[in-house]
Structure formats: C-alpha cells, structure tokens
Structure 1
Amino acid sequence: MADLFDTNRNYVLGDPELELIGDREKLAQWRHKNMGPAYYKLGRKVIYRGCDLNDWAEASRVDPAVEGRD
C-alpha cells in the first residue's frame, strides 16, 4: 500500500493532513473512547506518528472484492 502519511513525520492537532481522517472534534472523541489511531499525549499536546497513522489506515481498509466472498 502507498502510505497516506509521511512515515518519518510527527503530526500535531491543527496539521491539515489530519483532516484526511477527521476534524479536531472527531479525533478528540476517538481519543476519549480509546478508538482511532495511536497517539502520544505530552502535557496538553497530542502527537500522531505518521507510521501509526498509516498502520491504522491500513487496518481500516475495506476491499469490497474480498468482503463479498463467502
């Protein structure tokens, strides 16, 4: 799979690239519910690693060609 996020980069809330998976409020809801991609909480700052975002995106992938087979 081609990576959606730069694996060597850290993303913080407010980075426009994070809008790809959800707005600030959606990410906050997921963190509160222990859902969504892995993150670091350093003080009040929330940091997402690009490699964690890519892993989460891959795990969320749906392939209709495979899903319909029984």
Structure 2
Amino acid sequence: MQEPSNPHHSTGNAAAYLGNSERTLARWRSLREGPPYIRVGRKVRYLQSDLDEWLARHRVHPVREGRPVGCGGGAHQRPTSERHGR
C-alpha cells in the first residue's frame, strides 16, 4: 500500500511538531486561531502541508531585506541631537 502524499497528524503529533502543547492547539481551535485542521466527528486531524504553511507564514525575519546590519535607523539609536552634542 502506498503512503499518502499528504499525511495527517493527530493533535498530539501536530503539537509536538509545532513545539506546543495539545492544550494550546485546543485553545487555538476554540479561538479560531492556529493552523487549519480537519474535524471528522470527534476526531481532529492536521495535514502536514497545513502545518508547514502555517509555520512559514509565522516566520520572522529579524533584519529587513536589502539593508545591512548596523546601517542605522533602528530603535537602539540615540536621537540625532544627542549624537551631535546638541
């Protein structure tokens, strides 16, 4: 028998994959947050592709593209008047 191309996960497996608890996923479902899921009767399943897409959408890029680190403009800089002794 051939493996499905898009396997599904139980809440426990999905929580482990995302690094969260089952309780967190249950809370997200009740708040209509978190990754998409499938409910069949009382069972909840998460598709691997949905988990991967959800993680990708929550990826944070700490440095703006096209701007080298240390080029100024960040919140850590002192106001111009302080830098120039005014």
Whether TM exceeds 0.5 here: the answer is yes
Q: Report the Cα distance in structure 2 between the residues aligned to 1:57 and 1:12, rounded to whole angstroms.
A: 17
Is contact 1:11-1:47 (8 Å) kept? yes
Q: Which runs of 4+ in 1 moved over 2 A?
A: none
Report the counterpart of residue 50 of structure 1 in structure 2: 48
Alpha-carbon RMSD: 2.1
* Pairing 1:1-70 to 2, within 5 Å after superposition: 8-15=6-13, 18-21=15-18, 22-66=20-64
- Normalised to the residue count of structure 1, the TM-score between the two structures is 0.76
| CA displacement, residues 13-68 of structure 1 (integer Å, 9 cap, x when unaligned) | 222x532421110000000000000000111100000000011000000010128x
Number of equivalent positions: 62
Unaligned residue ranges in structure 2 (runs of 5+) = 68-72, 74-86
Amino acid at match of 2:15: L
Q: Report the Cα distance in structure 2 between the residues aligned to 1:30 and 1:60, rounded to whole angstroms.
A: 15
State the identity as a percent: 35
- Normalised to the residue count of structure 2, the TM-score between the two structures is 0.63
By relative contact order (CA 8 Å, sep 6+), the higher-ranking structure is 1
For the pair shown, which has the larger CA radius of gyration, 1 or 2?
Answer: 2
